[in-house]
Structure 1
Amino acid sequence: MLHRENKIKKYHVSSAADLIQETMEYYDITQTDLAERLGVSQKNISDILKRKRFINEILALRLEKVMGISSELLLTLDSHYKLEQAKANNEITKNDKKNPLFLRRYDWVSA
């Protein structure tokens, strides 16, 4: 039954790294093997899996070709993940109407 007191649970936000790691485990391939197939360094793959680096469009297309994962999905996952991290780190200010940067209509402006 729905109650107003029940809080909505926030779902885990995944990055492309989570899906890549899961696929690597499914196919039992190493970072080195994946790096060779993609034409990048093993360090690059390691940094992506540790979320120190995020995939770009070219790597997303290579991953799609090698792993069969949609490049659009991978880029969307990373985009949403980075946005949630920015929100969590309070890098985006709330729409605080006292904030001088917040857009507002002035009384003296006529429409």
Structure 2
Amino acid sequence: MSATPDYIVTTGDFITEWMEHQGVNAAELARRLGVSRKHLSELLSGKAPLSHPLALALERVTGVPARIWNQYESGYRGDLARRQENTDPDAQ
């Protein structure tokens, strides 16, 4: 049995959960954050990384401290790297 989960939670999953709880759609959140809907979509899907300035914008919009958003992002990127290392025999 492995202590490491076999799934990865994106930062966007946490943002989406907040959006659902608050009744805010992607277009409205993009507007509040001052980013394009495309950029927000890429962030929500895990394709675009969360920048520190955007974490600060999320803090202003959501009330959740930027350090928490940054921790989610760091954990997500670390999990991606771990998965890549485990699936790429040349990475070690």
- Compute the TM-score of the two structures, normalised by the length of structure 2: 0.83
Give CA deviations for 1:17-68 in whole Å, capped at 9, x if unaligned.
1110000001111111001111111111100011110110000001001011
Query: How far apart in 1 are the matches of 2:21 and 2:49?
Result: 21
Kindly name which structure, 1 or 2, has the bigger radius of gyration based on alpha carbons.
1
In the other structure, the counterpart of 1:40 is 35
Query: How far apart in 1 are the matches of 2:63 and 2:8?
Result: 21
CA gap 1:85/1:53 in 2 versus in 1, 3 angstroms: same
The 8 Å contact of residues 64 and 70 in structure 1, kept in 2 or not, is answered as: yes
Aligned 1:60-99 pairs, distance under 5 A:
60-90=55-85, 92-93=91-92
Paired positions, count: 87
The 8 Å contact of residues 8 and 80 in structure 2, kept in 1 or not, is answered as: no
In the other structure, the counterpart of 2:23 is 28
Identical-pair percentage: 30
- Compute the TM-score of the two structures, normalised by the length of structure 1: 0.70
Q: Unaligned regions of 5+ residues in structure 2, if any?
A: none
CA-based RMSD of the aligned residues comes to 1.6
